């Protein structure tokens, strides 16, 4: 974590899950990788606000999701304790892999900084300032007015 900017960069992640009997270990590992990627998005990037029943993030320019560059090295550990009631002794592995990443990240932030994050995503503003910055006004893609190029120039009186 960069303590000057609040940028959190997950560089390693260990994912351990009791899956009962791993019928197809490659698929179990793939579920674990995908769950970690989703959990990182949930914990660090994805923010969905609603105002008067209308979503505020209408495009992916504002609703951020992780890309391959956001996913760290992931070590998977499969624990097999067969379940008598599951098919062929298997248990669930899909959603549980997603649920643990965000709490692990905010606990890592606490261990690094001593600062508790109580609201996710743990983005730059929440980590550095302790609160979310509020954007007012329309997004650039929503503005209907055409900017006058002259209004963007620095005037001698502003230098």
Q: Which residue has the tokens 């992780």?
A: 66
Are 57 and 47 a contacting pair, CB within 8 Å? yes
Catalytic pick among 46, 82, 95, 150: 95
Measure the CA–CA gap between 35 and 153, rounded to whole angstroms. 48
Told to judge if 119 belongs to the known catalytic residues of this protein, a careful annotator would answer no
Tokens coding 103: 């709490």
Q: How far, in Å, are 46, 52, 112, 118, 143 from residue 56 at the CA level?
A: 13, 10, 32, 22, 15
C-alpha dihedral, 46 to 51 to 52 to 56, nearest 10°: -70
Tokens coding 157: 């009186």
Tokens coding 30: 């793939």
3-state secondary structure of 62: coil
Catalytic residues: 95
């Amino acid at each position: 974590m960069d303590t000057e900017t609040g940028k959190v960069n997950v560089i390693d992640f260990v994912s351990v899950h009791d899956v009962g009997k791993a019928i197809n270990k490659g698929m179990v590992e793939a579920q674990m990788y995908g769950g970690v990627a989703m959990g990182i998005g949930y914990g660090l990037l994805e923010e969905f606000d609603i105002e008067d029943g209308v979503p505020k993030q209408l495009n992916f320019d504002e609703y951020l999701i992780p890309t391959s560059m956001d996913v760290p090295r992931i070590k998977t550990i499969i624990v097999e304790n067969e379940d008598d009631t599951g098919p062929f002794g298997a248990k669930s592995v899909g959603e549980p892999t997603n649920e643990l990443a965000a709490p692990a990240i905010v606990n890592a932030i606490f261990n690094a900084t001593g600062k508790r994050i109580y609201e996710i995503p743990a983005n730059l503003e929440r980590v550095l300032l302790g609160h979310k910055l509020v954007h007012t006004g329309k997004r650039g893609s929503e503005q209907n007015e055409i900017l006058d190029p002259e209004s963007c120039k620095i005037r001698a009186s502003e230098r």
